[in-house]
Chain A
Amino acid sequence: MGIENKIVNSLPEVLTTRLDWVVNWARKSSIWPATFGLACCAIEMMAITAPRHDVARFGAETFRASPRQADLMIVAGRVSKKMGPVLRRIYDQMPEPKWVIAMGVCASVGGIFDNYAILQGVDKIVPVDVYVPGCPPRPEGLIYSIMKLQQKIQTESIRNRPDSPIVLDEPALVGKEA
């Protein structure tokens, strides 16, 4: 039926697909994480790039020291309240589209550090896509979270990303916020 049948019949070297699917496939297959190691979880985060675990198998091995070149922030470790504004600024410096993984219980909910100095979950300042439990999570756990994130990316649309700040600019939402 329709135009794609005609194309397939007359031009067998042409494939048709949805634009969303292709763009998401490209995005999920080449995630560039920003290095945001804050504590012991960062050691496990480094381990995923090493030969034994080798996150390159999932296309996410290119860690970038500059947020301008990254699209995934792996918050690895407890975020102190003094670090909070710094983390938010680095998140804001990352270009869209961007995702956040809260690695370990400290980044997720504060963990054992239920005290005055530590932010009780990084989702208080940036939107988090995947939470990884563990103290610290094993490298397999972090790789699994990247695979989960890839599944999530595949379901997104280039028109309307749920966590995108562009959505917040819509008049209805801004009015609700005020």
Chain B
Amino acid sequence: MSKPPPAEDVAAFRERFSEAVTEVREALGEVSCSVDPAYIVEVCGFLRDDPRFQFNLLSDLCGVDLGIDQEPRFEVVYNLNSLTKLHRLRLKVQLPGDEPTIPTVTTVWKTANWHERETFDMFGIIFEGHPDLRRILMPEEFQWHPLRKDYPVRGYDDF
């Protein structure tokens, strides 16, 4: 059973990235950290390499559309897993509705490649520095991002 890292380690992590980690929430035995998008690569690299955390697996990376009238509108969620420590941690990054852009974490975990392509395909979130940011699920000629709240469920007639 995976647990969150010990509370003192999370506190030390928050101390070290005091300007990057804006909020730490614990609910239902899970810890979620809100992170400033500018620091995401640095924070992820630290969590992977630090011996207290060893988050060697990016379980999932996905997007959230919080609503067209929300600002910040988009969220990118990183679910980290440590196979050596059996720990889990969730990072959340909020992005503006207009041209949401965030640095890629493919340099930290290679598995982020396809996850970021899917998040780009579904939400139109741009991952800067991604080696191959193409659509992965929808056809290449598709023009929209279907999981955005303003996209109709049935799509448009011309597709």
Which residues of chain A have a CB within 8 Å of any CB of chain B?
81-82, 114-117
Contacts and interface: CB of A to CB of B under 8 A. Distances in A.
Interface in B105-159: 137-139, 146, 151-156, 159
Nearest to A85: B139
A81 B139 contact: yes
Q: Max chain B CB contacts within 10 Å: which of A114, A115, A116? A: A116
Given A81-B139, A82-B138, A114 B159 contact: no
Chain B: interface residue count, which band?
Answer: 10 to 19
Contacts of A114: 153-154
Contacts of A116: 146, 151-156, 159
13 contacts: A82-B137, A82-B139, A114-B154, A115-B153, A115-B154, A116-B151, A116-B152, A116-B153, A116-B154, A116-B155, A116-B156, A116-B159, A117-B146
Given A82-B137, A116-B153, A117-B138, 8 more contacts: A82-B138, A114-B153, A114-B154, A115-B153, A116-B151, A116-B152, A116-B155, A116-B156
Interface in B89-110: none
A116 B152 CA distance: 8
CB-based closest 5 A-B pairs:
A116-B155, A82-B139, A116-B146, A115-B153, A116-B154
Interface in B61-103: none
Nearest to B144: A116
A146 B73 CA distance: 52
A116 B153 CA distance: 6
